[in-house]
Amino acid sequence: MKYRKTLAALLVVLLALTGVAAANGEEYLITLSWLKEHLNDAVTKELDDGLVQLEADVRKAASSTSKNQNTTLTAAEIEALASQVAAQLQPSGGSSTSQLTLAKGAQVLGPLGGGMILESGSATVNSFTGNDLIDVTAGAAAAPGSTAMVGSYYFVGADNGCGLTITSDTAVVRVLDGAYGKAGYSAKYEEDAELLSELGIFKGSNLGFELERVPTRQEALIMLIRLLGEEDAALAYTGKSPFTDLTGWLEGRNYIHYGSAKGYTNGIDAVTFNQYGAASRHVYLTYVLRALGYDDKAGDFVWNTTSDDLAVKIGLMTSKQLAAMEQSGFYRDHVALISRNALTAELKNGSMTLGEHLATKGVLSWSDLDDLR
């Protein structure tokens, strides 16, 4: 390819410009020369795989310069061209980011150009060539098997399965530009998730239902509010909570403000909710049992012990499913299972099922209940 070297250099610059800023938003700590030295082979391979349109874009941009097309561009001119074609060269996934809560053994992977930031917990580096995963914040390759640094921006320099492996019980990782989490757990309750999705109770993201990852405290609370039939009220709530650590989408914060005001949830301390922290099985069972009218404060159950016994007794899960959760850990897959079973479980007072209660409130239609049988 005639412009291979120029294009490779241009793409490296663009990767530096569009995807490898330090995690704290400060100046780039990795140098262009380092990127050229360690990524040029991978970039050239990507070009050889068919980036013909990219060459056309660069030719078009270059035509506005005074340089002849056969002349090597200077570094400054390459950087100027980079800004003109950056939109066409965004890595897979664009500038999208998401925050994942992952369990021990899960991996964070990505295509060339993907990125990941370990925000809490611990992880080790999966690297196969020694130059394929780059700690941009440190300005050096991440050594295979080394401990990942919290807050460092890791850039995927080769689409070969390099990334991070979670070593703590749970960890929060921000993924960017096509990077994703892959858990060691395999989902079993996709049909329950699909049914709940059709009812508007269980919702996924642009990544799908994400059944193989750990649910967050915010997600668990949102499910409680939906099971109570109070989602519209939560989204319309304009009050505030005492929590000072809330970030992210405004509606997500509304659920927390509303849940706090209604007394449905507490923080981990007076001013900290820890919305992206992992929601355990006991936390979610407590929420669901409360939705069914059981009161732990009145002694109906103890949140971290007898909630399991009560859940099995009323049909939220079987003893076999409980044993499996104790072995594997608690995932969004189990949230779907328990929530689906909650809709056919009777309220504590025995008057009706939770699904029938939601139908009386207009949250579900009576015909929806046929699908639950």
Residue 358 tokens read as 């939601």
Residue 318 has pLDDT above 60, yes or no: yes
Residue 8 has pLDDT above 50, yes or no: no
- φ/ψ of 346, rounded to 5, equals -75, 145
Residue 214 tokens read as 């750990």
* Mean pLDDT of the chain, nearest integer: 81
Cα angle 180-21-50, degrees, rounded to a multiple of 5: 60
Closest by CA position to 243, among listed 272, 213, 201:
272
Give the pLDDT confidence score for residue 223 in this predicted structure: 96
Contact status, residue 127 vs residue 144, Cβ threshold 8 Å: yes
Closest by CA position to 286, among listed 267, 264, 270, 269:
264
Exposure b/e, 140-160, CB count within 10 A at least 16 = b: ebbeeeeebbeebbbbbbbbb
Cα–Cα distances (Å) from 169 to 185, 273, 331, in that order, read: 14, 19, 12
* C-alpha dihedral (270, 290, 227, 278), degrees to nearest 10: 50
Query: For the segment 57-104, what is each residue's pLDDT rounded down to a tens digit?
Result: 545 555 544 444 444 545 555 555 544 444 333 333 345 688 899 988
Residue 2 tokens read as 């005639």
**Higher confidence at residue 197 or residue 19?**
197
Using a pLDDT cut of 70, give the percent of the chain over it: 74
What is the mean pLDDT of the segment spanning 272-290?
Answer: 93
Of the ranges 14-23, 96-105, 152-161, 321-330, which is most confident? Answer: 321-330
Spell out the domains of the chain, with CATH numbers in brackets.
Answer: 4-89 (no CATH), 97-182 (2.60.120.1030), 190-372 (no CATH)
What is the mean pLDDT of the segment spanning 15-44?
Answer: 48
Residue 21 has pLDDT above 50, yes or no: no
Rounded to a whole number, what is the distance in angstroms from the first to the last CA of the chain? 62
What is the mean pLDDT of the segment spanning 288-300?
Answer: 96
Exposure b/e, 103-133, CB count within 10 A at least 16 = b: bbebbbbbbbbbbbbbbebbbebbbeeebbb
Query: For the segment 158-182, what is each residue's pLDDT rounded down to a tens digit?
Result: 877 889 989 898 899 999 988 998 8
